[in-house]
């Protein structure tokens, strides 16, 4: 094939691609493997994951800028859904599971984010308090929580549900604990075991 004909074929190919609708080009490129385009998909995934999860698994309801972490156990899903909607759905799903209960964490920075720098954050803080049922969550520095998730993801499954939230330090972190065995019971058990003298 002559050089002139090769150039002509190349130009035709470029022209054909450039005339594709923008959404068609986006579809060809495709979303990340872990992203879901339909809001119901993350709900279905949650229904499948929670029964298999237990002590030391995590579920994170993350703002849209939350980073994709590289620990092997971390799974990130882009829900495209409202932040509080996802949080309420997760909490409602966990309430119906007798085998786990969530230990709630929030970023320690959240109470200090000023309204002037993040318009809407005051309203969000109030909505979050109501969503958590008025029960307090443990506040930890954001970097400390990320480190906890990174460590957990080396051995255990962590599900991160990214929302459309565009306010900083608004992620909610749920560390799953055993629903039928309390921390107090575990302490008593360990104390009893320590009192047993080896023969």
User: By the 8 A CB rule, do 105 and 175 touch?
Assistant: yes
Q: Mind listing the pLDDT tens digit for each residue in 1-60?
A: 555 555 455 445 544 444 544 443 333 344 444 443 444 589 999 999 999 999 999 999
Residue 179 and residue 99 in contact, taking contact as beta carbons nearer than 8 Å: yes
Kindly state which CATH superfamily the domain 34-195 is placed in. Answer: RbsD-like domain (3.40.1650.10)
Q: Domain locations in the chain?
A: 1-30, 34-195
For helices 83-95 and 121-131, the axis angle rounded to 10 degrees is 10
Query: Residue 42 region, left (φ>0) first, then alpha (ψ -120 to 50), else beta?
Result: alpha
pTM summary value: 0.77
Element (H, E) at 13: helix 3-18
- Kindly report, residue by residue over 137-189, the tens digit of the pLDDT: 999 999 999 999 999 999 999 999 999 999 999 999 999 999 999 989 999 99
């Amino acid at each position: 094939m002559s050089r002139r004909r090769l150039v002509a074929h190349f130009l035709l190919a470029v022209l054909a691609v450039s005339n594709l609708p923008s959404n068609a080009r986006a579809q060809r490129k495709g979303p990340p493997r872990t992203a879901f385009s339909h809001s119901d998909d993350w709900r279905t995934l949650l229904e499948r994951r929670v029964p298999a999860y237990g002590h030391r698994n995590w579920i994170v309801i993350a703002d849209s800028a939350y980073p994709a972490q590289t620990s092997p156990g971390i799974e990130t899903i882009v829900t495209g859904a409202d932040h509080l909607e996802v949080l309420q759905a997760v909490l409602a799903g966990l309430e119906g599971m007798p085998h786990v209960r969530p230990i709630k964490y929030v970023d320690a920075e959240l109470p200090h984010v000023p309204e002037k720098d993040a318009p809407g954050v005051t309203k969000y803080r109030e909505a979050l308090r109501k969503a958590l049922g008025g029960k307090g969550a443990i506040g930890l520095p954001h970097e400390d929580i990320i480190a906890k998730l990174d460590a957990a993801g080396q051995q255990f499954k962590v599900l991160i549900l990214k929302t459309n939230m565009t306010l900083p330090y608004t992620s909610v972190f749920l560390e799953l604990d055993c629903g039928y065995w309390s921390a107090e019971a575990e302490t008593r058990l360990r104390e009893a075991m320590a009192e047993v003298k080896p023969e």
